[in-house]
Amino acid sequence: MHNPASGANLRAPSAMSRVFIDHPEVPYCEVKDPRSVAQALGELAAQDVNTLAISGGDGTVRAVLDVLLSRGQFQRLPLLAVLRAGTTNMIAGDVGLRGRPDAALACLIDRAARGSDGLDIVQRHIMRIDRGAGQDPIYGMFFGAAMIFQGVEYCKSRIHSVGLRGEIGPGITLLRFALAMARGERAIVAPVPVRVSIDGALPTADDCDIMLVTTLERLFLGLRPFWGEEDTPLHFSSVRARPRCWLRALPGLLRGRRNRFMTPANGYVSHNVRRLQLELDSRFIVDGEFFSPVPGSPLGITDGGALGFLRLR
């Protein structure tokens, strides 16, 4: 499944085409939006495809997850092979194939033809996000609000627009926003009021600077900003507005290694959870795409099931 408008594909439009020409036996679908993704997956399900390579960015992967987990087109869900064909490629960085997308796809086809030697399967859970009655659920692997949303918006408008792609763009954005938090620049990092209920507990209310939920084990640049110890699939982390000891806590927070400054009393919380209920009025992101909450309806974030992802040894 190929999205020619995704970041890496847009920069090298002929690279993937050569792989498709060299392997006419491999079913190929071109997609550009959620409707074409749903149509393509219906065609592939009818062919009983058991492995799906996705040549697109995080948004394309999210659109595939939406259809796979909500429409029941496949009798048995296919294995996914995610190529680094987008702009940031955060999902591919954790569960995808290394290297250029055309070379990785050619290698995948070659190894599959030889009996899958040199391929590993890693399982990852997928989040299900419910916005309220009458709204379709959103499936994805990374949810962010407050500074996370503001940072992605900043990165797309100010960093990507000057041609900085890959993980360097989010890295520059992280540095800018971390400095803004240290300086208290509320024009850059605006706190967001949130009420949070974890696994059915009574909700707590606070103004947050950072909130994220993910099923990935690695974010861009290898960051792991979660340090919960519970044996549950959703990594949840939040930093309240104006946290104490921000610069001292930051190295441990980014690596997911708790230090003495990363305490709830100082404003740092992280748990692995089964279910979250969030009440917020601000926009949020799921795998790099922007969404809005339904007024008066809390967000419910739960485990939407697990999928198998192929990786090259």
pLDDT exceeds cutoff 90 at 163: no
Task: Note the pLDDT of residue 72.
Answer: 85
Average pLDDT over residues 21-50: 94
CA angle in degrees (0–180, nearest 5) for 197-251-153: 60
pLDDT, tens only, 248-291: 999 999 999 999 999 999 999 999 999 999 999 999 999 999 99
Task: Note the pLDDT of residue 80.
Answer: 98
- What is the CB-side half-sphere exposure of residue 301 using CA atoms within 13 A? 29
Domains and CATH numbers, the chain: 7-124 (3.40.50.10330), 142-286 (2.60.200)
pLDDT exceeds cutoff 80 at 295: yes
Q: Which residue type does 6 have?
A: S
Rounded to two decimals, the pTM is 0.95
In this prediction, residue 239 has a pLDDT band, given cuts at 50, 70 and 90, of: very high
Distance of alpha carbon 28 from alpha carbon 206, whole angstroms: 48
pLDDT, tens only, 1-26: 999 999 889 888 888 999 999 999 99
Q: Judge whether 287 and 141 are in contact, CB under 8 Å.
A: yes
pLDDT exceeds cutoff 90 at 214: yes
Task: Note the pLDDT of residue 138.
Answer: 97
* Among the listed residues 52, 33, 32, the one whose alpha carbon sits nearest the alpha carbon of residue 41: 52
Average pLDDT over residues 28-55: 94
* Among the listed residues 199, 171, 5, 2, the one whose alpha carbon sits nearest the alpha carbon of residue 102: 2
